[in-house]
Chain A
Amino acid sequence: MTAGGWYEPGSSPVHRVPAGWKFAALLALAAAVFALRSPVWLGGICAAVVLAYGVARVSLRRCAGVARSLGVLAAFVFAVQWWLLGADRALVVCLRVVTALAAANLFTITTRIDDVVAAVEGGLGPLRRFGVRPDRIGLIVGLTLQAVAALSAIAAEVREAARARGAQRSVTAFAVPFLVRTLRHADELGEALAARGEGDR
C-alpha cells in the first residue's frame, strides 16, 4: 500500500510548523487567491509559494512531478478560458489554479499524515459533547487502508473471473460480483468489530 503518499521527511521551517497552523495558513491563502483579481498580486503570491518549495527543500524529483502535473492542468485551463473569457481573465484563473494547488501540494508534501490526524483529533475535541469521538479517527484510518488492500485483491480476482468468462468489456459483469463481495467483506468486518466491542450497542 502506498499509504506513505506524498510526504517527504525533512527538518525545514516549513516542515516544523505545527500541522494545524499550516492548515489554517493554507485555507487563508486559498481564500485570498479566490478573492484577489489582480494578476500582479496573484503572481506575487504564486512566486512566494514557489519560494516556499525552496525553503522546504523539496526534492527536485518531487518538484518536477508537481510542475509537470500543474503545467498540463494550467495549459488546459488557460486554453479553455482564453477561448471563453479572453486572455486577461484566463491568466487570472490560471494563476489562481496554480497558486492554490501548489500551496496545497506543499502542505501534503511537508506534513506527516500522523500529524494531520493528531491535529484533526485536537480540532474536533470541542465536538465531543455532540457524540463525536475524535480518538476513533486513527482506528478508522487504519480500517479503511486495510479495506483498500483487501478490496484491491478482490477486484483483481473478480476481473480475472470476468475475463475467463469472456466478459472483460462488460461493466456489470465486473461491478456486480465485486459489490457483492465488497458487502460480504463489510459484514465480516462488522462481526469482527462487534466481537471486539467496537461500535455502540
Chain B
Amino acid sequence: MPAADLARTVVFAAFIAVLGIFPGFYVGTSGVPIVLQNAGPLLAGAVLGARRGTASVVLLLALTAIGLPLLSGGRAGIGPFLGPSGGFLLGWILSALVVGLIVERAARPRLPVLFAAGAAGLAADYLIGVPFLGLYTGDLPAAATQSLVFLPGDVAKAVTVALIAATLHRALPGQLAGSAKRAR
C-alpha cells in the first residue's frame, strides 16, 4: 500500500474512533445526544472509496478487538463483537465496501448518488446485524422486529452522511473517492 493510502486508512480509522470518543451531539431541539460513530463507516466509504474505506474500518475493528478502547463508551476487546449487536459492528465492513463501490462508480458523486449509497450501506449493515441477532435469540423475525427500533435514527444518520459527503466532495474536488479515478 503506498504511503498516502496507508496514511488515509490509518487516519480515518482514528477519525471513526474520535466520533465515538467525542460526547454525543445534540441535534435539533431533542435533549438526547446522538452518537455519530456508526455513521463513520458510511463516511469512510463515501470519502475514501471502497478499498481504503473498508481497510480503515477493518483496522478500527481489529484494534478494538486487540483491546484498544476505540468504540463509543470506551468499549474494547472481543466483547463488543460477541454481544447481541456484534453483527452490526461486523456489518460496518460490508457497509463501507458497498458505499465505496457505489460512490466510485459515480462520475461525480452528487447528493442523489450519495443518498442511494448511504441507504445501501445501511442495508448492508442490517444484512449482517439482523441474522447475527437472530442467531442469538434463535428467532429471526423477532430479531428483525427489535432492530426496527434503531432504523429511524440510522436513516437520519445516513441522510446526514450524504449531506456531509456531498459538501465535502464539492469542497475538495478531485481528491476523494469517485473523482480520484480521473485524477490518476
B7 contacts the other chain (Cβ, under 8 Å)? yes
Looking at chain B's contact residues, the main secondary structure is: helix
Indicate which residue in A100, A144, A150, A198 contacts B3 across the interface (CB closer than 8 Å).
A198
User: Which of A23, A97, A116, A147 is packed against the most chain B CB atoms within 10 Å?
Assistant: A147
Which of B18-26, B89-97, B101-109, B112-120 lies at the binding interface? B18-26
| Complex interface: chain A residues within 8 A of B68 (CB) | 3, 5, 113, 141, 145
CA distance A7 to B67 in the complex (A): 8
Contact between A176 and B82 (Cβ–Cβ < 8 Å)? no
Contact between B7 and A120 (Cβ–Cβ < 8 Å)? no
Indicate which residue in B6, B14, B175 contacts A183 across the interface (CB closer than 8 Å).
B175
Contact between B14 and A147 (Cβ–Cβ < 8 Å)? yes
Which of A10-18, A40-48, A50-58, A167-175 lies at the binding interface? A167-175
| Complex interface: chain B residues within 8 A of A23 (CB) | 78
How would residues 1 to 35 of chain B score, 1 for a CB under 8 Å from any chain A CB and 0 otherwise? 11111111011111101100110011110000000
Q: Please give the number of chain A residues whose Cβ is less than 8 angstroms from any Cβ of chain B in the complex.
A: 67
A151 contacts the other chain (Cβ, under 8 Å)? yes
A148 contacts the other chain (Cβ, under 8 Å)? yes
Given A113-B66, A155-B22, A26:B78 Cβ within 8 A: yes
* CB proximity of B57 to chain A, nearest CB, Å: 13
Write the residues of chain B forming the contact surface with A, with a CB cutoff of 8 angstroms.
Answer: 1-8, 10-15, 17-18, 21-22, 25-28, 36, 43, 47, 59, 63, 66-70, 74, 76-79, 81-84, 135-139, 142, 145-146, 160, 163-164, 167-168, 171-172, 175
